[in-house]
Amino acid sequence: MRDSSYTLSEAHSPMSQAERRRGFTAIWLLAVMTVGLVGQGTVWAQGEERSMVVSVLDSSGAPVEGLAPTDFVIAEDGTEREVLRVEPATTPMQLAVLVDTSGAAAFATANIREGLEAFVSRLHEDHEIALVTFGNHPRILVESTGQIDRLRDGIGQLFAFPDTAAYLLDALVETTRGFEQREAPRPVIVAVTSDGIDYSSQSARRALEGLRANQVATHMIVLQNQANAALRASVNDGGEVADHLYQRDLMLEQGPKETGGQRHDLLVSSALVDTLDTLAAILTSQYEVVYSRPASLIPPEEIAVRMRRDDLSAQGTPVRQSGE
């Protein structure tokens, strides 16, 4: 009993109360430190990493390798962001090659086949490629694949259809919808088109909105021809056909600019082989540029990339985040 009563009396002694006060103080300090750490965690969470796939070219149009973070400038709505690291872009591409098979492209069929044969041979091992035609409405000729035999068979089936128009914008919208459904992480479109008549039902605005929303890098190769130019001139005086041409031309101009792609205008179709070869070299020499940005519920309206060196140029496509 003595031991018990002694214990109880000790619990109410001045020394015991001091110890209890120290205990409460320690708990309070721990709570303050915990809140502080949570607060710091909130601050840290306000920064996030984003990335762009970037092509860098020299003054001759050739890809440039071996660059460092200090060579790049990334800006969101005009505000520069810190570039954290730069590395080769290794995420496999999902390529859709769109080919004009309208009557206006008949003069270039042999060169188209030759150029695409070399293009897919260079890319098929590490990337998936689909072949889509858009003469007399869009049509998937070869589903997305890395099998070279299937791609070669599809290229061998490329023929121009006489007395048909192109449907480039329709093909762009449908292809982009396919990328969206597949949640393609690195989608790329390469369109080979004539400068003939286009009867797409979709507008350039609709096509551009889809390309930007799904971060689709879009490259346009335009095959020019005197006969097509004369035909365009004859209908370019207003009316429905003229509006279709305006929409197609707007897409050719703005599509590459707004998606980090390129536009090539070829006066002779024989140049297509070298153009596609150069494009394949550019696509396989791209960088992934990772940068830091403040976390925000509102995405930036514009993300731009440029080089600090005046002798280099850059085009970039933001990488779509999972869940976006």
* pLDDT tens track for 240-277: 778 888 899 999 999 999 999 999 999 999 999 999 99
Residue 167 above 70 pLDDT?
yes
- What is residue 22's predicted lDDT score, i.e. its pLDDT? 52
Phi, psi dihedrals of residue 68, rounded to the nearest 5°:
-115, 170
Which parts of 182-251 are beta strand (E)? 187-194, 217-223
Per-residue tokens: 311: 């002798």
Residues 247 and 252: their CA atoms lie apart, in Å, by 9
> Is the pLDDT confidence value at 161 over 60?
yes
pLDDT of residue 299: 85
φ/ψ (deg, to 5) at 233: -65, -35
The yes-or-no verdict on residue 71 having pLDDT over 60 is yes
What does pTM read for this prediction?
0.83
Q: Are 205 and 251 in contact (CB under 8 A)?
A: no
Strand order in the sheet with 313-318: 303-307, 72-76, 79-88, 287-294, 47-57, 313-318
Through-space distance between the first and last CA atoms of the chain, rounded to whole angstroms: 71
Averaging pLDDT over each range in 17-26, 49-58, 218-227, which range is the top one?
49-58
**Nearest in space to 67 (alpha carbons), one of 308, 318, 292:** 308
43 against 292, higher pLDDT: 292
Q: What is the mean pLDDT of residues 183-199?
A: 94
Confidence of residue 231 (pLDDT cuts 50, 70, 90): low
Domain 94-283: CATH superfamily, name plus number = von Willebrand factor, type A domain (3.40.50.410)
Q: Which range scores top for mean pLDDT: 5-9, 112-116, 124-128? A: 112-116
